[in-house]
């Protein structure tokens, strides 16, 4: 059985992952509205991945006999350009969860969270790559067009723990 404290923290993380999904959905819609279908595709896949993250945590809570509480998802007020700052915040939340699990000597939760720790390295890297690419092509329409074409090739793969 998982502790109440960790259960609450994991439920908060589920909500954060769903908010992340919402953030990327908003970025996807904004990109598509500008005619950037490749960016739209890339962010839409991210939207799906974030829902996978929430699902992994839900499955885990259920497996441990915990209770899943689905709190309201807050409105997305910022979208374009807030990706890296947001991922850094999520990384800090995951690290904090891991610290809590270690403090409680809840080895199963710590082990489950390791996947998320590794995943955040990738998330921050891909956010940085997109931001760097946009800086490189700054103002150049052909560059943005090519980047959009590249991002259009991303395909969805279900997260490994699922
Ligand atoms: Mg996530």
The backbone torsions φ and ψ at residue 45, rounded to the nearest 5 degrees and listed phi first, read: -65, -40
Question: 6-33, pLDDT tens digit by residue?
Answer: 999 999 999 999 999 999 999 999 999 9
Distance 20 CA to ligand 1 centre (A): 6
Cβ partners under 8 Å of residue 36, min gap 6: 144, 148
73-91 as b/e, with b when 16 or more CB fall inside 10 Å? eeebeebeebbeebbeebb
Instruction: Please tell me the distance from the alpha carbon of residue 97 to that of residue 140, in angstroms, as a whole number.
Output: 42
pTM over 0.85: yes
Question: 45-84, pLDDT tens digit by residue?
Answer: 999 999 999 999 999 999 999 999 999 999 998 766 678 9
Distance 17 CA to ligand 1 centre (A): 5
């Amino acid at each position: 059985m998982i502790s109440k404290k960790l259960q609450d923290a994991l439920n908060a993380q589920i909500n954060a992952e769903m908010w992340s999904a919402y953030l990327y959905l908003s970025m996807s819609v904004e990109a598509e509205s500008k005619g950037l279908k490749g960016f739209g595709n890339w962010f839409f896949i991210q939207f799906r991945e974030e829902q996978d993250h929430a699902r992994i945590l839900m499955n885990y809570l259920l497996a441990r006999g915990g209770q899943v509480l689905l709190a309201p998802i807050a409105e997305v007020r910022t979208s374009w350009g807030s990706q890296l700052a947001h991922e850094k915040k999520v990384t800090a939340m995951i690290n904090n969860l891991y610290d809590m699990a270690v403090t409680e000597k809840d080895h199963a939760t710590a082990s489950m969270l390791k996947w998320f720790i590794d995943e955040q390295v990738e998330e921050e890297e891909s956010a940085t790559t997109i931001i760097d690419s946009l800086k490189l092509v700054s103002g150049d329409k052909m560059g943005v067009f090519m980047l959009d074409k590249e991002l259009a090739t991303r395909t969805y793969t279900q997260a490994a723990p699922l």
